[in-house]
A and B are shown apart, each in its own frame.
Chain A
Amino acid sequence: MGLVIVASYNVDANPVDFAEGMPNLGIIISEIFVLESLIDDLKYIPTALWAMLETLQMAFIGTVIGVTIGLPLSMLAARNLNSKFVYAPTRALLAIIRTFPSILWALLFVIMVGLGPYAGVLAIVMYTIGFVTKLQYESIETIDSDPMDAVSSIGVSKFQLIRYVVLPESASHLLGQILYMFDYNVRQTSILGIVGAGGIGFFIINYIKFFEYGKAAIFMLIVLITVLAIDWISVKVRDKYIIKSQHGMEVKTK
Protein backbone atom coordinates (compact mmCIF):
# COMPACT_ATOMS: atom_id res chain seq x y z
CA MET A 1 0.00 0.00 0.00
CA GLY A 2 2.76 2.38 1.03
CA LEU A 3 4.54 1.44 -2.18
CA VAL A 4 1.50 2.44 -4.21
CA ILE A 5 1.40 5.87 -2.57
CA VAL A 6 5.12 6.46 -3.11
CA ALA A 7 4.87 5.28 -6.71
CA SER A 8 1.84 7.51 -7.37
CA TYR A 9 3.67 10.48 -5.90
CA ASN A 10 6.59 9.81 -8.22
CA VAL A 11 4.51 9.76 -11.38
CA ASP A 12 2.58 12.79 -10.23
CA ALA A 13 -0.64 10.84 -9.89
CA ASN A 14 -2.61 12.92 -7.49
CA PRO A 15 -5.79 11.38 -6.05
CA VAL A 16 -7.39 14.82 -6.31
CA ASP A 17 -6.83 14.77 -10.09
CA PHE A 18 -8.44 11.39 -10.23
CA ALA A 19 -11.46 12.58 -8.25
CA GLU A 20 -11.79 15.70 -10.39
CA GLY A 21 -11.66 13.48 -13.46
CA MET A 22 -14.58 11.34 -12.36
CA PRO A 23 -17.31 13.72 -13.66
CA ASN A 24 -15.62 13.56 -17.09
CA LEU A 25 -16.27 9.86 -17.16
CA GLY A 26 -19.91 10.65 -16.51
CA ILE A 27 -19.97 13.03 -19.47
CA ILE A 28 -18.34 10.41 -21.69
CA ILE A 29 -20.87 7.77 -20.65
CA SER A 30 -23.82 10.11 -21.14
CA GLU A 31 -22.54 11.02 -24.59
CA ILE A 32 -22.32 7.36 -25.55
CA PHE A 33 -25.96 6.85 -24.69
CA VAL A 34 -27.45 9.76 -26.60
CA LEU A 35 -29.98 7.86 -28.67
CA GLU A 36 -29.57 9.27 -32.18
CA SER A 37 -25.78 9.10 -32.05
CA LEU A 38 -25.98 5.58 -30.63
CA ILE A 39 -27.95 4.40 -33.65
CA ASP A 40 -25.48 6.19 -35.88
CA ASP A 41 -22.55 4.53 -34.05
CA LEU A 42 -24.02 1.05 -34.40
CA LYS A 43 -23.43 1.32 -38.16
CA TYR A 44 -19.73 1.03 -37.36
CA ILE A 45 -20.06 -2.51 -36.02
CA PRO A 46 -19.04 -4.13 -39.35
CA THR A 47 -15.96 -1.90 -39.52
CA ALA A 48 -15.14 -2.80 -35.94
CA LEU A 49 -15.51 -6.48 -36.73
CA TRP A 50 -13.15 -6.16 -39.69
CA ALA A 51 -10.62 -4.33 -37.53
CA MET A 52 -10.94 -7.05 -34.90
CA LEU A 53 -10.42 -9.72 -37.53
CA GLU A 54 -7.25 -7.96 -38.65
CA THR A 55 -6.12 -7.86 -35.02
CA LEU A 56 -6.76 -11.57 -34.63
CA GLN A 57 -4.86 -12.32 -37.82
CA MET A 58 -1.92 -10.24 -36.62
CA ALA A 59 -1.90 -11.98 -33.24
CA PHE A 60 -2.19 -15.39 -34.89
CA ILE A 61 0.57 -14.86 -37.45
CA GLY A 62 2.79 -13.22 -34.82
CA THR A 63 2.28 -16.10 -32.40
CA VAL A 64 2.89 -18.79 -35.03
CA ILE A 65 6.10 -17.18 -36.34
CA GLY A 66 7.25 -16.30 -32.82
CA VAL A 67 6.77 -19.87 -31.59
CA THR A 68 8.40 -21.31 -34.73
CA ILE A 69 11.52 -19.28 -34.05
CA GLY A 70 11.20 -19.57 -30.27
CA LEU A 71 10.94 -23.33 -29.91
CA PRO A 72 14.40 -24.12 -31.36
CA LEU A 73 15.81 -21.31 -29.21
CA SER A 74 14.20 -22.87 -26.13
CA MET A 75 15.93 -26.14 -26.99
CA LEU A 76 19.25 -24.29 -27.13
CA ALA A 77 18.53 -22.49 -23.85
CA ALA A 78 17.62 -25.62 -21.85
CA ARG A 79 20.35 -26.56 -19.42
CA ASN A 80 19.60 -30.27 -19.53
CA LEU A 81 20.19 -30.42 -23.30
CA ASN A 82 23.25 -28.23 -23.84
CA SER A 83 26.63 -27.30 -22.54
CA LYS A 84 27.12 -23.96 -20.81
CA PHE A 85 28.70 -22.53 -23.96
CA VAL A 86 25.43 -22.96 -25.80
CA TYR A 87 22.76 -22.20 -23.22
CA ALA A 88 24.43 -19.21 -21.56
CA PRO A 89 24.66 -16.97 -24.68
CA THR A 90 21.20 -18.07 -25.85
CA ARG A 91 19.71 -17.14 -22.49
CA ALA A 92 21.49 -13.77 -22.54
CA LEU A 93 20.10 -13.00 -25.99
CA LEU A 94 16.60 -13.98 -24.93
CA ALA A 95 16.86 -11.88 -21.77
CA ILE A 96 17.72 -8.84 -23.88
CA ILE A 97 14.77 -9.47 -26.21
CA ARG A 98 12.52 -9.83 -23.17
CA THR A 99 13.40 -6.45 -21.69
CA PHE A 100 11.38 -4.65 -24.41
CA PRO A 101 7.61 -4.45 -23.91
CA SER A 102 5.58 -5.14 -27.06
CA ILE A 103 4.59 -1.48 -27.50
CA LEU A 104 8.27 -0.50 -27.69
CA TRP A 105 8.94 -3.18 -30.29
CA ALA A 106 5.95 -1.82 -32.22
CA LEU A 107 7.33 1.70 -32.09
CA LEU A 108 10.71 0.46 -33.25
CA PHE A 109 9.21 -1.43 -36.19
CA VAL A 110 6.95 1.47 -37.16
CA ILE A 111 10.11 3.53 -37.48
CA MET A 112 11.85 0.75 -39.43
CA VAL A 113 9.13 -0.55 -41.76
CA GLY A 114 6.48 2.17 -41.57
CA LEU A 115 2.92 2.35 -40.22
CA GLY A 116 0.56 -0.58 -40.47
CA PRO A 117 -0.06 -4.18 -39.42
CA TYR A 118 3.31 -5.40 -40.70
CA ALA A 119 5.09 -3.52 -37.91
CA GLY A 120 2.56 -4.90 -35.44
CA VAL A 121 3.14 -8.50 -36.49
CA LEU A 122 6.92 -8.05 -36.16
CA ALA A 123 6.44 -6.60 -32.68
CA ILE A 124 4.32 -9.59 -31.64
CA VAL A 125 6.92 -11.97 -33.11
CA MET A 126 9.70 -10.41 -31.04
CA TYR A 127 7.64 -10.28 -27.88
CA THR A 128 6.56 -13.89 -28.32
CA ILE A 129 10.15 -15.06 -28.83
CA GLY A 130 11.27 -13.37 -25.63
CA PHE A 131 8.37 -14.51 -23.54
CA VAL A 132 7.39 -17.97 -24.73
CA THR A 133 10.98 -19.28 -24.77
CA LYS A 134 11.37 -18.60 -21.07
CA LEU A 135 8.24 -20.59 -20.27
CA GLN A 136 9.34 -23.35 -22.62
CA TYR A 137 12.94 -23.86 -21.60
CA GLU A 138 11.81 -23.89 -18.00
CA SER A 139 9.34 -26.68 -18.65
CA ILE A 140 11.88 -28.58 -20.76
CA GLU A 141 14.23 -28.47 -17.79
CA THR A 142 11.63 -30.11 -15.56
CA ILE A 143 11.41 -33.21 -17.76
CA ASP A 144 12.14 -36.41 -15.87
CA SER A 145 15.85 -37.22 -16.28
CA ASP A 146 15.29 -41.01 -16.28
CA PRO A 147 14.06 -41.38 -19.90
CA MET A 148 16.55 -38.72 -21.00
CA ASP A 149 19.44 -40.73 -19.54
CA ALA A 150 18.13 -44.08 -20.72
CA VAL A 151 17.64 -42.91 -24.31
CA SER A 152 20.95 -41.00 -24.33
CA SER A 153 22.68 -44.19 -23.29
CA ILE A 154 21.69 -45.72 -26.64
CA GLY A 155 23.93 -43.08 -28.22
CA VAL A 156 21.17 -41.30 -30.17
CA SER A 157 21.66 -37.86 -31.73
CA LYS A 158 20.46 -34.62 -30.15
CA PHE A 159 17.71 -34.37 -32.78
CA GLN A 160 16.49 -37.85 -31.97
CA LEU A 161 16.52 -37.15 -28.24
CA ILE A 162 14.41 -34.02 -28.79
CA ARG A 163 12.03 -35.75 -31.18
CA TYR A 164 11.47 -38.92 -29.12
CA VAL A 165 11.86 -37.80 -25.51
CA VAL A 166 11.80 -34.02 -25.03
CA LEU A 167 8.81 -33.21 -27.26
CA PRO A 168 6.52 -36.07 -26.18
CA GLU A 169 7.30 -35.53 -22.50
CA SER A 170 6.72 -31.77 -22.59
CA ALA A 171 4.13 -31.45 -25.37
CA SER A 172 1.17 -30.76 -23.12
CA HIS A 173 3.02 -27.98 -21.32
CA LEU A 174 4.32 -26.47 -24.54
CA LEU A 175 0.86 -26.48 -26.17
CA GLY A 176 -0.70 -24.90 -23.11
CA GLN A 177 1.91 -22.15 -23.19
CA ILE A 178 1.39 -21.50 -26.91
CA LEU A 179 -2.35 -21.20 -26.34
CA TYR A 180 -1.79 -18.83 -23.45
CA MET A 181 0.61 -16.80 -25.59
CA PHE A 182 -1.99 -16.42 -28.36
CA ASP A 183 -4.59 -15.38 -25.82
CA TYR A 184 -2.21 -12.79 -24.43
CA ASN A 185 -1.12 -11.61 -27.88
CA VAL A 186 -4.72 -10.83 -28.90
CA ARG A 187 -4.93 -8.39 -25.99
CA GLN A 188 -1.56 -6.89 -26.81
CA THR A 189 -2.30 -6.52 -30.52
CA SER A 190 -5.46 -4.62 -29.63
CA ILE A 191 -3.41 -1.75 -28.29
CA LEU A 192 -0.51 -1.73 -30.76
CA GLY A 193 -2.57 0.56 -33.00
CA ILE A 194 -1.85 3.34 -30.52
CA VAL A 195 1.60 3.70 -32.07
CA GLY A 196 0.27 3.06 -35.57
CA ALA A 197 1.15 -0.60 -35.82
CA GLY A 198 -2.24 -1.69 -37.21
CA GLY A 199 -5.16 -3.51 -35.64
CA ILE A 200 -8.25 -2.31 -33.85
CA GLY A 201 -6.36 -0.06 -31.43
CA PHE A 202 -5.65 2.33 -34.28
CA PHE A 203 -9.40 3.08 -34.60
CA ILE A 204 -9.97 3.35 -30.88
CA ILE A 205 -7.17 5.82 -30.30
CA ASN A 206 -8.30 8.02 -33.18
CA TYR A 207 -11.94 8.12 -32.10
CA ILE A 208 -10.83 9.08 -28.62
CA LYS A 209 -8.61 11.81 -30.03
CA PHE A 210 -11.59 13.30 -31.86
CA PHE A 211 -13.96 12.90 -28.91
CA GLU A 212 -16.06 10.25 -30.68
CA TYR A 213 -16.54 8.27 -27.51
CA GLY A 214 -19.59 6.41 -28.80
CA LYS A 215 -17.68 4.87 -31.68
CA ALA A 216 -14.67 4.17 -29.47
CA ALA A 217 -16.98 2.36 -27.04
CA ILE A 218 -18.39 0.13 -29.80
CA PHE A 219 -14.85 -0.86 -30.82
CA MET A 220 -13.82 -1.49 -27.25
CA LEU A 221 -16.90 -3.63 -26.68
CA ILE A 222 -15.94 -5.78 -29.67
CA VAL A 223 -12.45 -6.23 -28.19
CA LEU A 224 -13.95 -7.17 -24.85
CA ILE A 225 -16.29 -9.75 -26.35
CA THR A 226 -13.55 -11.28 -28.50
CA VAL A 227 -11.09 -11.54 -25.64
CA LEU A 228 -13.71 -13.15 -23.42
CA ALA A 229 -14.61 -15.60 -26.18
CA ILE A 230 -10.98 -16.60 -26.76
CA ASP A 231 -10.44 -16.94 -23.04
CA TRP A 232 -13.41 -19.23 -22.80
CA ILE A 233 -12.35 -21.33 -25.79
CA SER A 234 -8.79 -21.74 -24.55
CA VAL A 235 -9.98 -22.81 -21.11
CA LYS A 236 -12.18 -25.43 -22.80
CA VAL A 237 -9.34 -26.67 -25.02
CA ARG A 238 -6.94 -26.79 -22.09
CA ASP A 239 -9.41 -28.74 -19.95
CA LYS A 240 -10.19 -31.16 -22.69
CA TYR A 241 -6.75 -31.98 -24.06
CA ILE A 242 -3.99 -30.64 -21.90
CA ILE A 243 -5.14 -31.17 -18.32
CA LYS A 244 -6.11 -34.71 -19.28
CA SER A 245 -2.70 -35.65 -20.64
CA GLN A 246 -0.92 -33.96 -17.73
CA HIS A 247 -2.92 -36.15 -15.46
CA GLY A 248 -1.42 -39.13 -17.18
CA MET A 249 2.07 -37.78 -16.71
CA GLU A 250 1.69 -37.90 -12.96
CA VAL A 251 1.40 -41.66 -13.03
CA LYS A 252 5.11 -42.27 -12.72
CA THR A 253 7.30 -45.36 -12.82
CA LYS A 254 8.56 -45.77 -9.33
Chain B
Amino acid sequence: MTETPSFSLISTNKIIQMNDVWTSYDSKSFALSGVNLSIDRGTNYAIVGQSGSGKSTLLKLMNGMMIPSKGTIKMDYQTPNMNNKTFKKMMHTIGYIPQSLGLVKNISVLDNILIGALPRLSTMQSILKQFPEHEIQEAKRILKLVGLSGKESRKAYMISGGEKRRVAIARALMQKPTILLADEIVSELDHVTAREIMDLILDAQKKMNLTAIMVHHDMALALEYANRVAVMKEGKKILEIGVEGDSIVDFQAGDMGIEEIMEMYNTDAKE
Protein backbone atom coordinates (compact mmCIF):
# COMPACT_ATOMS: atom_id res chain seq x y z
CA MET B 1 0.00 0.00 0.00
CA THR B 2 2.50 2.60 -1.09
CA GLU B 3 1.28 6.09 -1.89
CA THR B 4 1.99 6.30 -5.61
CA PRO B 5 3.33 9.77 -6.38
CA SER B 6 2.24 11.39 -9.68
CA PHE B 7 -0.37 13.70 -8.11
CA SER B 8 1.07 14.16 -4.65
CA LEU B 9 4.52 15.24 -5.89
CA ILE B 10 3.18 18.25 -7.70
CA SER B 11 1.68 19.89 -4.67
CA THR B 12 3.21 19.77 -1.22
CA ASN B 13 0.20 21.46 0.27
CA LYS B 14 -1.30 18.51 2.12
CA ILE B 15 -4.20 19.55 4.35
CA ILE B 16 -5.10 16.03 5.52
CA GLN B 17 -2.73 13.14 6.04
CA MET B 18 -3.43 9.72 7.48
CA ASN B 19 -0.65 7.29 8.02
CA ASP B 20 -1.38 3.61 8.72
CA VAL B 21 -4.49 4.38 10.76
CA TRP B 22 -6.18 1.63 12.74
CA THR B 23 -9.21 2.08 14.92
CA SER B 24 -11.95 0.07 16.60
CA TYR B 25 -15.18 0.66 18.51
CA ASP B 26 -14.77 -2.50 20.57
CA SER B 27 -12.00 -4.96 21.29
CA LYS B 28 -13.35 -7.57 18.86
CA SER B 29 -12.75 -6.06 15.43
CA PHE B 30 -11.19 -3.12 13.63
CA ALA B 31 -13.42 -0.55 11.92
CA LEU B 32 -10.36 0.68 10.03
CA SER B 33 -7.22 -1.32 9.43
CA GLY B 34 -4.19 0.47 8.07
CA VAL B 35 -5.62 3.39 6.10
CA ASN B 36 -3.31 5.82 4.28
CA LEU B 37 -4.71 9.04 2.92
CA SER B 38 -3.25 12.24 1.65
CA ILE B 39 -5.48 15.10 0.54
CA ASP B 40 -4.44 18.34 -1.13
CA ARG B 41 -5.85 21.69 -0.10
CA GLY B 42 -8.88 22.63 -2.19
CA THR B 43 -9.59 19.06 -3.33
CA ASN B 44 -13.08 17.72 -3.65
CA TYR B 45 -12.47 14.28 -2.21
CA ALA B 46 -15.09 11.57 -2.29
CA ILE B 47 -15.22 8.39 -0.26
CA VAL B 48 -17.38 5.52 -1.45
CA GLY B 49 -17.81 1.94 -0.33
CA GLN B 50 -20.27 -0.58 0.99
CA SER B 51 -22.18 -0.16 4.18
CA GLY B 52 -19.98 -0.82 7.20
CA SER B 53 -16.74 -0.30 5.28
CA GLY B 54 -15.61 2.52 7.59
CA LYS B 55 -16.54 5.69 5.70
CA SER B 56 -18.23 7.46 8.63
CA THR B 57 -15.44 6.35 10.92
CA LEU B 58 -12.91 8.09 8.66
CA LEU B 59 -14.77 11.39 9.00
CA LYS B 60 -15.10 11.07 12.78
CA LEU B 61 -11.34 10.58 12.99
CA MET B 62 -10.71 13.66 10.86
CA ASN B 63 -12.59 15.98 13.21
CA GLY B 64 -11.25 14.45 16.40
CA MET B 65 -14.51 12.89 17.61
CA MET B 66 -12.62 9.60 17.58
CA ILE B 67 -8.96 8.82 18.15
CA PRO B 68 -7.03 6.14 16.25
CA SER B 69 -5.70 3.20 18.23
CA LYS B 70 -2.67 3.14 15.96
CA GLY B 71 -1.19 5.43 13.31
CA THR B 72 -1.08 9.18 12.86
CA ILE B 73 -3.49 11.76 11.50
CA LYS B 74 -2.65 15.35 10.65
CA MET B 75 -5.25 17.95 9.84
CA ASP B 76 -3.39 21.02 8.64
CA TYR B 77 -0.41 19.70 10.62
CA GLN B 78 -2.42 19.25 13.84
CA THR B 79 -3.42 16.00 15.48
CA PRO B 80 -7.22 15.79 15.76
CA ASN B 81 -8.57 15.38 19.28
CA MET B 82 -11.73 17.12 20.43
CA ASN B 83 -10.49 17.29 24.02
CA ASN B 84 -7.42 19.23 23.02
CA LYS B 85 -7.71 23.03 23.36
CA THR B 86 -5.67 23.87 20.26
CA PHE B 87 -7.50 21.43 18.08
CA LYS B 88 -10.84 22.68 19.42
CA LYS B 89 -9.98 26.03 17.80
CA MET B 90 -9.45 24.23 14.54
CA MET B 91 -12.83 22.50 14.90
CA HIS B 92 -14.44 25.94 14.64
CA THR B 93 -13.59 25.90 10.94
CA ILE B 94 -14.22 22.23 10.19
CA GLY B 95 -17.79 21.93 9.00
CA TYR B 96 -18.98 18.44 9.89
CA ILE B 97 -22.33 17.16 8.65
CA PRO B 98 -23.00 13.76 10.23
CA GLN B 99 -25.06 11.08 8.55
CA SER B 100 -27.86 11.83 11.05
CA LEU B 101 -27.49 15.60 10.38
CA GLY B 102 -27.75 16.44 14.10
CA LEU B 103 -30.15 19.37 13.92
CA VAL B 104 -31.57 20.79 17.15
CA LYS B 105 -35.22 19.89 16.62
CA ASN B 106 -36.95 22.35 18.91
CA ILE B 107 -35.35 25.54 17.66
CA SER B 108 -35.94 27.40 14.41
CA VAL B 109 -34.15 26.86 11.11
CA LEU B 110 -32.41 30.23 11.45
CA ASP B 111 -31.24 29.44 15.00
CA ASN B 112 -29.86 26.12 13.80
CA ILE B 113 -27.84 27.96 11.16
CA LEU B 114 -26.64 30.54 13.70
CA ILE B 115 -25.15 27.73 15.79
CA GLY B 116 -22.35 27.70 13.22
CA ALA B 117 -21.40 31.21 14.38
CA LEU B 118 -21.22 30.33 18.10
CA PRO B 119 -17.41 30.08 18.22
CA ARG B 120 -17.25 33.76 17.22
CA LEU B 121 -19.51 34.86 20.13
CA SER B 122 -18.53 35.78 23.66
CA THR B 123 -19.96 33.75 26.55
CA MET B 124 -22.27 36.61 27.50
CA GLN B 125 -23.53 37.11 23.94
CA SER B 126 -24.28 33.43 23.57
CA ILE B 127 -26.09 33.11 26.91
CA LEU B 128 -28.29 36.11 26.08
CA LYS B 129 -28.61 34.85 22.51
CA GLN B 130 -27.45 38.20 21.17
CA PHE B 131 -25.98 37.49 17.78
CA PRO B 132 -24.34 40.55 16.18
CA GLU B 133 -26.34 42.03 13.31
CA HIS B 134 -23.75 41.05 10.67
CA GLU B 135 -23.95 37.39 11.77
CA ILE B 136 -27.73 37.42 11.43
CA GLN B 137 -27.41 38.98 7.98
CA GLU B 138 -24.83 36.33 7.02
CA ALA B 139 -27.13 33.55 8.28
CA LYS B 140 -29.98 34.97 6.19
CA ARG B 141 -27.74 35.19 3.15
CA ILE B 142 -26.73 31.52 3.52
CA LEU B 143 -30.35 30.59 4.17
CA LYS B 144 -31.25 32.06 0.80
CA LEU B 145 -28.21 30.45 -0.83
CA VAL B 146 -29.27 26.95 0.21
CA GLY B 147 -32.82 27.61 -0.94
CA LEU B 148 -34.62 27.90 2.38
CA SER B 149 -36.13 31.38 2.01
CA GLY B 150 -39.37 31.69 3.90
CA LYS B 151 -38.59 28.73 6.16
CA GLU B 152 -36.36 30.60 8.62
CA SER B 153 -38.75 30.60 11.57
CA ARG B 154 -39.97 27.01 11.14
CA LYS B 155 -38.99 24.61 13.90
CA ALA B 156 -36.39 22.15 12.62
CA TYR B 157 -38.66 19.16 13.18
CA MET B 158 -41.30 20.66 10.90
CA ILE B 159 -39.39 20.57 7.60
CA SER B 160 -38.77 17.88 4.99
CA GLY B 161 -35.76 15.58 4.81
CA GLY B 162 -34.20 17.50 1.92
CA GLU B 163 -34.73 20.78 3.75
CA LYS B 164 -33.08 19.34 6.85
CA ARG B 165 -30.01 18.56 4.75
CA ARG B 166 -29.96 22.14 3.50
CA VAL B 167 -30.11 23.42 7.09
CA ALA B 168 -27.19 21.20 8.07
CA ILE B 169 -25.18 22.45 5.10
CA ALA B 170 -26.04 26.05 5.96
CA ARG B 171 -24.91 25.52 9.57
CA ALA B 172 -21.59 24.17 8.30
CA LEU B 173 -21.15 27.09 5.85
CA MET B 174 -21.94 29.50 8.69
CA GLN B 175 -18.76 28.25 10.37
CA LYS B 176 -16.75 29.85 7.53
CA PRO B 177 -15.09 26.46 7.12
CA THR B 178 -11.78 25.62 5.54
CA ILE B 179 -12.64 21.91 5.54
CA LEU B 180 -16.05 20.37 4.96
CA LEU B 181 -16.79 16.81 6.05
CA ALA B 182 -20.13 15.59 4.76
CA ASP B 183 -21.48 12.11 5.43
CA GLU B 184 -23.91 10.83 2.78
CA ILE B 185 -25.92 14.02 2.74
CA VAL B 186 -27.44 13.43 -0.70
CA SER B 187 -27.81 9.65 -0.59
CA GLU B 188 -31.48 9.51 0.24
CA LEU B 189 -32.55 12.28 -2.11
CA ASP B 190 -33.93 12.15 -5.64
CA HIS B 191 -31.44 12.85 -8.43
CA VAL B 192 -32.57 16.40 -9.14
CA THR B 193 -32.35 17.50 -5.51
CA ALA B 194 -29.10 15.62 -4.98
CA ARG B 195 -27.49 17.46 -7.92
CA GLU B 196 -28.90 20.77 -6.77
CA ILE B 197 -27.28 20.29 -3.37
CA MET B 198 -23.99 19.07 -4.88
CA ASP B 199 -23.85 22.11 -7.20
CA LEU B 200 -24.45 24.30 -4.19
CA ILE B 201 -21.52 22.77 -2.31
CA LEU B 202 -19.29 22.92 -5.37
CA ASP B 203 -20.11 26.58 -5.75
CA ALA B 204 -19.40 27.35 -2.11
CA GLN B 205 -16.22 25.35 -2.39
CA LYS B 206 -14.90 27.46 -5.27
CA LYS B 207 -15.79 30.72 -3.51
CA MET B 208 -14.39 29.79 -0.11
CA ASN B 209 -11.40 27.68 -1.22
CA LEU B 210 -12.80 24.75 0.74
CA THR B 211 -11.40 21.29 0.96
CA ALA B 212 -14.42 18.99 0.86
CA ILE B 213 -14.42 15.38 1.95
CA MET B 214 -17.74 13.82 1.09
CA VAL B 215 -18.97 10.32 1.66
CA HIS B 216 -21.18 9.08 -1.15
CA HIS B 217 -23.32 6.08 -1.73
CA ASP B 218 -23.40 6.50 -5.48
CA MET B 219 -20.13 5.94 -7.36
CA ALA B 220 -21.42 7.77 -10.46
CA LEU B 221 -22.19 10.87 -8.43
CA ALA B 222 -18.76 10.70 -6.79
CA LEU B 223 -17.00 10.50 -10.16
CA GLU B 224 -19.09 13.37 -11.50
CA TYR B 225 -18.29 15.81 -8.71
CA ALA B 226 -15.00 14.82 -7.11
CA ASN B 227 -11.36 15.33 -8.10
CA ARG B 228 -10.39 12.20 -6.27
CA VAL B 229 -12.41 9.18 -5.21
CA ALA B 230 -11.34 6.71 -2.53
CA VAL B 231 -13.01 3.32 -2.40
CA MET B 232 -13.28 1.64 0.98
CA LYS B 233 -13.87 -2.00 1.74
CA GLU B 234 -13.88 -3.71 5.13
CA GLY B 235 -11.90 -0.97 6.81
CA LYS B 236 -9.30 -0.64 4.05
CA LYS B 237 -8.81 1.84 1.25
CA ILE B 238 -8.69 -0.48 -1.73
CA LEU B 239 -8.48 2.09 -4.48
CA GLU B 240 -8.02 5.76 -5.19
CA ILE B 241 -8.97 7.41 -8.45
CA GLY B 242 -8.02 10.85 -9.75
CA VAL B 243 -10.63 12.46 -11.98
CA GLU B 244 -10.33 15.35 -14.41
CA GLY B 245 -13.48 16.27 -16.27
CA ASP B 246 -14.85 13.03 -17.69
CA SER B 247 -11.68 11.01 -17.58
CA ILE B 248 -9.80 9.07 -14.97
CA VAL B 249 -6.27 10.45 -14.81
CA ASP B 250 -4.78 8.42 -12.03
CA PHE B 251 -5.47 4.99 -10.69
CA GLN B 252 -3.93 3.64 -7.50
CA ALA B 253 -4.89 0.10 -6.64
CA GLY B 254 -4.51 -1.03 -3.09
CA ASP B 255 -5.08 -4.54 -1.85
CA MET B 256 -7.43 -5.70 -4.54
CA GLY B 257 -7.10 -7.10 -8.02
CA ILE B 258 -8.36 -5.03 -10.93
CA GLU B 259 -11.22 -7.42 -11.76
CA GLU B 260 -12.59 -7.27 -8.28
CA ILE B 261 -12.43 -3.50 -8.44
CA MET B 262 -14.25 -3.26 -11.73
CA GLU B 263 -16.91 -5.60 -10.44
CA MET B 264 -17.42 -3.37 -7.44
CA TYR B 265 -17.51 -0.26 -9.56
CA ASN B 266 -20.24 -1.78 -11.71
CA THR B 267 -22.44 -2.84 -8.81
CA ASP B 268 -22.06 0.56 -7.17
CA ALA B 269 -22.88 2.43 -10.34
CA LYS B 270 -26.00 0.37 -10.90
CA GLU B 271 -27.49 1.13 -7.49
Interface residues of A (CB under 8 A from B): 144, 146-157, 159-160, 163-165, 168-169, 171-172, 245, 248-249, 251-254
B 43-67 to A, binary, CB cutoff 8 A, 1 in contact else 0: 0000000000000000000010100
Within the complex, the shortest CB–CB distance from B12 to chain A, in Å, comes to 28
Query: Is the CB–CB distance between B103 and A147 below 8 Å?
Result: yes
**Interface residues in B59-94 (C-beta closer than 8 Å to A):** 63, 65, 82, 88-92, 94
Query: Is the CB–CB distance between A253 and B106 below 8 Å?
Result: no
Query: Is the CB–CB distance between B175 and A154 below 8 Å?
Result: yes
User: Considering residues A152, A156, A164, A253, which has the most beta carbons from chain B within 10 angstroms of its beta carbon?
Assistant: A253
Known: A154-B91, A164-B104, A253-B164. 14 other contacts (CB 8 A): A146-B102, A151-B102, A154-B175, A155-B90, A155-B91, A155-B92, A155-B119, A159-B126, A159-B127, A160-B121, A163-B127, A164-B111, A168-B104, A253-B100
Query: Is the CB–CB distance between B88 and A150 below 8 Å?
Result: no
Query: Is the CB–CB distance between A150 and B96 below 8 Å?
Result: yes
* Majority secondary structure of chain B interface residues (helix, strand, loop or mixed): mixed
Query: Is the CB–CB distance between B102 and A149 below 8 Å?
Result: yes
Query: Is the CB–CB distance between B118 and A147 below 8 Å?
Result: no
A152 vs B82: C-alpha distance when bound (angstroms): 9
A164 vs B127: C-alpha distance when bound (angstroms): 9
B42 in contact (CB, < 8 A): no
A254 vs B100: C-alpha distance when bound (angstroms): 7
Choice from B107, B119, B157 contacting A251 with Cβ under 8 Å: B157
A147 vs B115: C-alpha distance when bound (angstroms): 11
User: Considering residues B102, B116, B119, B155, which has the most beta carbons from chain A within 10 angstroms of its beta carbon?
Assistant: B102
Interface residues of B (CB under 8 A from A): 63, 65, 82, 88-92, 94, 96-98, 100-107, 111, 115-116, 118-119, 121, 123, 126-127, 129, 155, 157-158, 161, 164, 168, 175
Within the complex, the shortest CB–CB distance from A220 to chain B, in Å, comes to 42
Query: Is the CB–CB distance between B118 and A154 below 8 Å?
Result: yes
Query: Is the CB–CB distance between A248 and B105 below 8 Å?
Result: yes
Query: Is the CB–CB distance between B63 and A245 below 8 Å?
Result: no
Within the complex, the shortest CB–CB distance from B146 to chain A, in Å, comes to 17
Within the complex, the shortest CB–CB distance from B218 to chain A, in Å, comes to 20
Within the complex, the shortest CB–CB distance from B65 to chain A, in Å, comes to 6
With A168-B104, A249-B105 known as contacts, the answer to whether A150 contacts B98 (CB < 8 A) is: yes
Query: Is the CB–CB distance between A149 and B92 below 8 Å?
Result: no
With A154-B119, A163-B129, A248-B158 known as contacts, the answer to whether A146 contacts B107 (CB < 8 A) is: no
Q: Across the two chains, which residue of chain A brings its CB closest to B126?
A: A160
List 21 A-B residue pairs with CB atoms under 8 Å apart, sorted by A's residue number: A144-B105, A146-B101, A148-B102, A149-B65, A150-B98, A150-B100, A150-B101, A154-B115, A154-B116, A155-B82, A156-B118, A159-B126, A160-B126, A164-B111, A169-B105, A169-B106, A248-B105, A249-B105, A252-B105, A253-B101, A253-B164
